[in-house]
Amino acid sequence: MKFINLTRRTEIGANSYYLELAGQRLVLDCGMHPKEEGEEALPNFRALGDRPLDGIVISHSHLDHIGTLPVLMRRQPEARIFMTEATAEIGSLLLHNSVNVMTRQREEIGAATYPLYTHRETDRATDRWRSSPWRQPFTLAGERAAPREEGGLTVEFVDAGHVLGAAGVILRAEGRTIFYSGDVNFDDQTITKGAVFPESGVDVLIIETTRGDSPLPDGFTRAGEELRLAAAIDRAFKRGGCILMPVFALGKTQEALAMFYKFRREKLLGEFPIYIGGLSTKMTEVYDRRALTTRRLLPRLQLLEEVAPFVLNGQNIHESAARAGRIYALSSGMMTPKTLSNIFARRVLENPQHSIFFVGYADPESPAGILKTVQPGDLVSLDPDEPAQPLRCEIEQFQFSAHASRESIVRYVKQLAPKKIVLVHGDAPAVEWTRATLAAELPGSEVIVPTPGVEMEL
C-alpha cells in the first residue's frame, strides 16, 4: 500500500491523505487550512503528480477536512465522492458559506485567487456526492460490496463520535484492513455519543493526535466540568456581566445549547438570553431535523425550539451591545479576525464585569489561542487591522473538546495493537508525545510520523 501525507507540514490544517491499494487510488479528506490563503490553504495536491483518482472519501464536514473538495473534484473529474448522509447535508452548507467568506476576503485583503470555487461550482460538486449508510461496505464504483468480499477494495463508515455525521473509514483490500480514524471522540458529549470503532482486526491504523500535548486533569469528568461551567456562568451573571463563548458553528454550538438546556432543566441556572450566529443556526437546524434518526443523547430535544436562541449575523453584530446576563455563543471557535466572536471579543475585552469562556481546542497561534495565554492587563491584538487592547475581562477555560483525549487515544491503540500506526492531524508536540508513548507501550508495532509530501510504503 502506498501512502502520501498531503498536508504541507506536521500540523492541523488542510488535512488530506493519499492511498493506493488493490490497484485503486483514493484520497481521504480534502481540507482547507484556516490560517493560510490561496494555494497555501490547499493540501499539497502537487504530490499526487499525474495520478488519476478513483475515489475521494470525506470523514466529516469541518472545513479542515472538506473545505477544498470542489478544487480537487475540478482537478479529478472522474473520481467518485463518498461521505455519510449528514456530512453531505452539512458539507454543502459549509462550502457555500466558505464561498461567501472567501469573497469577502478578496474584497477586504485583496486575495486575488479567491474565491477558490464558486456557489455554482459547489452546487455542481454536491450533485456528484454519494452518501453511504453506516456499517455497509461499498466499492469505489459506488456499489454495495458483497459480504466478506476478498481481494478488491471495500470502504465502510463507522461512527466517530466527533460531530454529526463524522465517520471513521475502514478500508479492506487483499487480506489487509486499514482504518482511518478521521476526527474521533470516544466519550459521550452532551448530544453526541462516543465513537463505535473496530476493536480488533486492523493491520494499519491512521489516527489523529490533536490533543497529544494536553493531559486530562486528575479526576476529570465531563459531568463535573458541566457543573463547573454552570457555576462560572452564575458567578459572571451575578457580577453584572455577559459571557462570550467562542464556538465552532458545527458541533460546539449544538453541544453548548444542549448544556444550557440541561442547566435550565436541572435548575442549576434560571432563564437567560442566548445568542448564536446565522451559520450556527443553519447547522442547528440540521441537528434538529436528524434528532430521531442519528445516534445521540437527548434525541427528542429540538434545540432551536426549546432553547430558543437569538440570532446575530454580520449586519446586526455591529449594533448589538454586550448586555449583562446574556451568553453570546458565537463562531468562530478560533476567533478568526472579522468573525462574530472576534468582533464581539473586542467589545468586552476591556470590561472587568464581562467574561470570555473557552470551551474547546484553539490553535495556539489563532486569536483565541493567543488570548488564552495573555495575562490580565497585558495588551493583546485580536485583529491586525484594529488597535491592541488591554485585557481586563475575566478569562476562563473549560474542557469540552470534541476530540479524543490523548489518554483515550492511547487506550484504544493499545487495545487494537495494529502492526503499523500512522500519526496525523496534530501539531508537532502532540504528534511527538503520541509517538513516544505508543512506541514505548507497543514495542511490537511500527509507529510512523509521515513526512509531508513523501510517498511511502505501508
pLDDT of residue 388: 95
Of 358, 351, 354, whose CA–CA distance to 392 is shortest? 351
- Average pLDDT of 139-157? 81
For residues 263 and 167, state if they share a domain.
no
Of 318, 349, 401, 378, whose CA–CA distance to 242 is shortest? 349
For residues 381 and 412, state if they share a domain.
no
DSSP 32-46: --TT--GGGGS--GG
**Residue 150 pLDDT level (bands cut at 50, 70, 90):** low
For residues 23 and 165, state if they share a domain.
yes
| Final residue of a structural domain among 345, 374, 397 | 397
**pLDDT exceeds cutoff 70 at 148:** no
| Final residue of a structural domain among 397, 420, 439 | 397
pLDDT of residue 319: 73
Residue positions counted in the chain: 458
For residues 145 and 240, state if they share a domain.
no
For residues 389 and 406, state if they share a domain.
no
How confident is the prediction for the chain on average, in pLDDT? Answer: 94
For residues 393 and 406, state if they share a domain.
no
For residues 280 and 151, state if they share a domain.
no
- CATH number of the domain where residue 406 is located: 3.60.15.10
pLDDT of residue 147: 59
Domain that holds residue 14: 2-214+402-457
- Average pLDDT of 207-227? 95
Q: Based on the structure, what is the number of domains in the chain?
A: 2
Strands (DSSP E) found in 46-153: 55-57, 80-83, 129-131
Number of alpha helices (DSSP H) and beta strands (DSSP E) in the chain: 12, 21
For residues 19 and 112, state if they share a domain.
yes
pLDDT of residue 300: 95
For residues 353 and 258, state if they share a domain.
yes
Q: Which of 192-196, 335-339, 394-398 has the lowest mean pLDDT?
A: 335-339
- CATH number of the domain where residue 386 is located: 3.40.50.10890
| Final residue of a structural domain among 397, 419, 440 | 397
Q: Which residues contact 3 (CB under 8 A, 6 or more apart)?
A: 17, 18, 19, 20, 422, 450, 455, 456, 457, 458
**Residue 316 pLDDT level (bands cut at 50, 70, 90):** confident
Give the Cα separation of 191 and 257 in Å (integer).
10
For residues 71 and 199, state if they share a domain.
yes
At 105, phi and psi to the nearest 5?
-65, -35
pLDDT in tens, 376-395: 999 999 999 899 999 999 99
**pLDDT exceeds cutoff 60 at 4:** yes
Look up residue 422 and give its three cell numbers: 500512522
pLDDT of residue 30: 97
